[in-house]
Chain A
């Protein structure tokens, strides 16, 4: 758990990068710091491991005030991932990943075991990749290594500064999914900086939207889109925020609320979609094909019904817009 108490950052006594920020990141949750560039999100992140000093206020990490800890010790207990992966070109992958355990003086055997476990987590062969150099890996692989390097000493807290920002969209999405799967297993407390709204909606348990060093809103992604606290928040998420919010709901949610349609067996070549897919993907699938329906399958591959644009619209109307402004719907 990370608690920010009235945290302020001032440069040279004049310009203020962060103003009286007050919030808590709960144990095992991902909080995405979101905002336009220069809003202070990276500064806020770097204050946690004291790469930036705190002008006023305090940051409490798992009951310890960060000011009371030795900066070096503190950083070794916090995983740190940066956009440009930061892998050291003079070291092999294994040496890179095992830096913090090495600094902490782990035994050779313990390091080896941990390395094998971590590489399994990201689906790379430990034996094959361990001896390679960073430059021999693709950008996506390098970033994966950057992530497991931060996990190496099993820190309770992780700081991620636009970790997937330099990757192309396809790889980025894949690594985001992978990372969420890893997070389900390791359950770290994560502070994640992003400037990409879609990434924030996807990754965050809660989003913190910042402007000029001040909190605009701190809420779950759906709350933020349904009930923006002010003009800036609603503008930031845009007019299409209802559609964006579709990515927070799955076909399963829709089925539970309004039920699926009957399958029209007469239509040829209809595509199928898993029941756990989000509705935004479903909608784009529906819009990008001839047929009016997509067959929904469960995890075993059995067909359990079909979904149509009408159904998505209905769900959007009742479920999402209903929440957005109850008065309109009546």
Chain B
């Protein structure tokens, strides 16, 4: 235990040192200067990026969680393999290709990027919802039924609280992936911080590249942190420990 802690702490110090070193290097080369010198553009791009992520993630949650719940109901169980395969297939297409394909349907702009990101976020959320609901001890459902709980009561009082850990983990994975993938929105004219990243690549300008990439990274880390906190609040204590074992 102590040894583990020691290694963990050492590792953390190394990572922090690397991050601080990177920032000093970037700042001393004035690579982050665009954020201050062109702050109005930065804020527009940041807002666009956040909108892309928020709109597509919320849509994905609203579709994938209910879909996962629906497909695990006895009535629709038989269709589970089909839906899972379709969603899996969607995930195997490279994200750039999804974007390109969407242009032919939706044209260029914000809505195309949102739609592609939405499609891309469905799988992790859907799969984790189904997995969370599937791994609940069948005896619990049997006991709940035998005591006279109605199906919706079993869903809201037993199934969802006990699979909340898995569902929220899926949402977290999807959102964090989404923040990174949203940088590609630039390719379809969707805006976002990808604009600076791609400009940096095309002009061999580390300043643009890093001024775009660092905020995206920080956004992803921040979202991960916040969603972990949310898990702590939303998952009941009893099922939390169970989910970890």
Q: Could you say which of A54-62, A83-91, A315-323 contacts chain B? A: A83-91
Name which residue of chain A comes closest to B137, CB basis.
Answer: A84
A237-258, CB under 8 A of B: which get 1 and which 0? Answer: 0000000000000000000000
Chain B residues with a Cβ under 8 A of chain A: 137, 139-140, 142-150, 153, 157-158, 161-162, 236-239, 241-242
Complex Cα distance A307/B129, Å? Answer: 66
Name which residue of chain B comes closest to A79, CB basis.
Answer: B147
Complex Cα distance A57/B161, Å? Answer: 39
Chain A residues with a Cβ under 8 A of chain B: 49, 51, 72-78, 80, 82-84, 86-91, 99-100, 103, 133-135, 149, 159
Choose among B143, B162, B241, B242 the residue that contacts A86 (Cβ–Cβ < 8 A): B143
Name which residue of chain A comes closest to B158, CB basis.
Answer: A88
Question: Contact: B153 with A90, CB < 8 Å?
Answer: no
Complex Cα distance A91/B144, Å? Answer: 13
Question: Contact: A86 with B148, CB < 8 Å?
Answer: no
CB distance from B233 to the nearest CB of A (A): 14
Q: Return chain B residues, CB-CB under 8 Å to A75.
A: 145-148
> Chain A: interface secondary structure?
mixed
Question: Contact: B241 with A135, CB < 8 Å?
Answer: yes
Question: Contact: B142 with A51, CB < 8 Å?
Answer: yes
Question: Contact: B147 with A99, CB < 8 Å?
Answer: yes
Complex Cα distance A89/B244, Å? Answer: 13
8 nearest A-B residue pairs (beta carbon): A86-B143, A75-B148, A76-B148, A80-B146, A90-B236, A89-B238, A90-B161, A133-B238
Question: Contact: A90 with B145, CB < 8 Å?
Answer: no
Choose among B145, B148, B238, B239 the residue that contacts A103 (Cβ–Cβ < 8 A): B148
Choose among A83, A99, A134 the residue that contacts B238 (Cβ–Cβ < 8 A): A134
CB distance from A187 to the nearest CB of B (A): 21
In this complex, the member of A88, A133, A135 whose beta carbon has the largest number of chain B beta carbons within 10 angstroms is: A88
CB distance from B146 to the nearest CB of A (A): 4
Question: Contact: A72 with B148, CB < 8 Å?
Answer: yes
Name which residue of chain B comes closest to A150, CB basis.
Answer: B147
Question: Contact: B139 with A84, CB < 8 Å?
Answer: yes
Question: Contact: B238 with A91, CB < 8 Å?
Answer: yes
Question: Contact: B143 with A72, CB < 8 Å?
Answer: no
Complex Cα distance A91/B137, Å? Answer: 15
Q: Return chain B residues, CB-CB under 8 Å to A73.
A: 148
CB distance from B20 to the nearest CB of A (A): 42
Q: Return chain B residues, CB-CB under 8 Å to A91.
A: 236, 238
Given contacts A80-B147, A90-B161, A135-B238, contact A103 B153 (CB under 8 A): yes
Question: Contact: B147 with A82, CB < 8 Å?
Answer: no
Question: Contact: B139 with A90, CB < 8 Å?
Answer: no
Question: Contact: B140 with A88, CB < 8 Å?
Answer: yes
Q: Return chain A residues, CB-CB under 8 Å to B238.
A: 88-91, 133-135
Question: Contact: A100 with B158, CB < 8 Å?
Answer: no
Question: Contact: B146 with A90, CB < 8 Å?
Answer: no
Question: Contact: A76 with B147, CB < 8 Å?
Answer: yes
Q: Return chain B residues, CB-CB under 8 Å to A89.
A: 162, 236, 238-239, 242
CB distance from B87 to the nearest CB of A (A): 28
Given contacts A73-B148, A133-B237, contact A90 B143 (CB under 8 A): no
Choose among A51, A87, A133 the residue that contacts B145 (Cβ–Cβ < 8 A): A51
